């Protein structure tokens, strides 16, 4: 009987922090259960990021291999050396999204070399749901493809249904902007205001639709589906996703380091976050919780525009003034405003340096 460590799993995440981190966490969880050899493929800069993250938490039996696939951002009308959504303004993300399909021939070349070297294909490919073309590659190399959604079940089901059916464009939408979602119970209604501007504008001929519709359709041809969720917590969403995909569904969440689920007071929360994401937070979670505990229940404002959205410097300044005038305690999760970068003219307080009063 072959040594299980000789069996391979290939992983292919999308080029974004919210995808790379869960994929790496899943690889570690799989190895903890069964010591398969796992290889993660991505573009060179993202592989460097994963390597630096792994280096901070060396495994006792390191069988996670990292392989770079060729990628030239400038060939896709992207800034030099940009290979991750984190480095792009929201309007340019679609360019990177489309550019991700250029990895298919390089992935095929890797698979050919892999089979020659190992005399058999990997036992499966676990690919990101937006890298649907990996299912086509898996079939051509006689192996199994499993799609992995790095977010929760309910959100994944909604995302699939909205992009596949564009229900906000149908006659079923009410005058006040509510519409039913195919695959969801009849009593569920969504509103136009809940959709990102690019989804609201989508009509099937736009660049976002032209990517997501075929890629998601390919992922729905996978052997099965993994979801970063917990069925006992998200039972409704899990059932909707099962019914929608009509595929075997396994909940593998929450994909967090064990130390985050079983806190150790001797290890700082900043260190935990640094080891998980490869980055130290501007404010440690531990200090954040301690500060929250000083305030009454429901008294603190939380402001965030998401991990990929940002606002203009003038909007940021107006929001800062409003928060100051409200005299309410708040936590503001800040991304640099449009036109600024973390390394240039923006600091952690959210004010452009040239306008701050010391």
Question: Catalytic site residues?
Answer: 19, 128
Name the burial class of residue 71, with classes exposed (0-12), middle (13-18) and buried (19+) by CB atoms within 10 angstroms of its CB: buried
Q: Which residues contact 286 (CB under 8 A, 6 or more apart)?
A: 268, 269, 270
Q: Which two tokens stand for residue 121?
A: 């294909």
Name the burial class of residue 33, with classes exposed (0-12), middle (13-18) and buried (19+) by CB atoms within 10 angstroms of its CB: exposed
If one counts every other C-beta atom within 10 angstroms of the C-beta of residue 206, the result is 14
Which helix (H) or strand (E) segment holds residue 179: the answer is strand 178-179
Distance from C-alpha of 294 to C-alpha of 271, rounded to nearest angstrom:
23
Please report, for residues 70, 196, 277, the alpha-carbon distance to residue 227 in angstroms, rounded to integers and kept in the order given.
28, 22, 19
Nearest to 49 by CA among 20, 88, 78: 20
C-beta separation of 238 from 220 below 8 A: no
C-beta separation of 138 from 123 below 8 A: no
If one counts every other C-beta atom within 10 angstroms of the C-beta of residue 291, the result is 13
Please report, for residues 76, 122, 168, 182, the alpha-carbon distance to residue 171 in angstroms, rounded to integers and kept in the order given.
37, 46, 8, 13
Q: Which two tokens stand for residue 343?
A: 């390394």
Name the burial class of residue 281, with classes exposed (0-12), middle (13-18) and buried (19+) by CB atoms within 10 angstroms of its CB: middle
């Amino acid at each position: 009987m072959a040594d299980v460590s000789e069996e391979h799993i290939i992983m292919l995440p999308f080029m974004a922090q919210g995808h790379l981190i869960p994929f790496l966490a899943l690889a570690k969880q799989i190895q903890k259960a069964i010591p398969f050899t796992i290889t993660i493929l991505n573009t060179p800069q993202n592989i460097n990021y994963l390597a630096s993250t792994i280096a901070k938490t060396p495994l006792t039996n390191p069988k996670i291999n990292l392989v770079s696939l060729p990628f030239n951002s400038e060939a896709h009308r992207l800034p030099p050396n940009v290979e991750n959504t984190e480095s792009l303004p929201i309007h340019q993300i679609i360019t990177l999204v489309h550019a991700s399909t250029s990895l298919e021939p390089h992935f095929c070349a890797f698979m050919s070399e892999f089979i020659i070297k190992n005399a058999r294909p990997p036992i499966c490919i676990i690919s990101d749901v937006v890298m649907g073309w990996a299912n086509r590659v898996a079939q051509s190399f006689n192996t199994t493809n499993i799609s992995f959604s790095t977010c929760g079940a309910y959100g994944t089901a909604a995302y699939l249904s909205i992009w596949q059916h564009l229900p906000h464009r149908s006659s079923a939408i009410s005058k006040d902007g509510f519409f039913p979602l195919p695959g969801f119970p009849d009593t569920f209604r969504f509103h136009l205001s809940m959709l990102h501007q690019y989804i609201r504008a989508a009509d099937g001929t736009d660049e976002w639709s032209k990517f997501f519709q075929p890629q998601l359709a390919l992922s729905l041809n996978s052997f099965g589906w993994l979801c970063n969720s917990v069925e006992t917590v998200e039972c409704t969403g899990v059932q909707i996703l099962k019914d929608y995909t009509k595929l075997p569904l396994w909940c593998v969440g929450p994909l967090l380091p064990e130390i985050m689920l079983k806190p150790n007071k001797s290890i700082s929360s900043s260190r935990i976050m640094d080891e998980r994401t490869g980055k130290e937070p501007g404010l440690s979670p531990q200090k954040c919780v301690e500060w929250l505990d000083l305030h009454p229940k429901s008294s603190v404002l939380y402001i965030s525009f998401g991990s990929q959205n940002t606002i203009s410097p003038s909007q940021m300044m107006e929001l800062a003034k409003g928060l100051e005038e409200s005299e309410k305690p708040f936590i503001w999760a800040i991304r640099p405003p449009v036109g600024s970068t973390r390394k240039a003219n923006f600091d952690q307080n959210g004010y452009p340096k040239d306008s701050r009063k010391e």
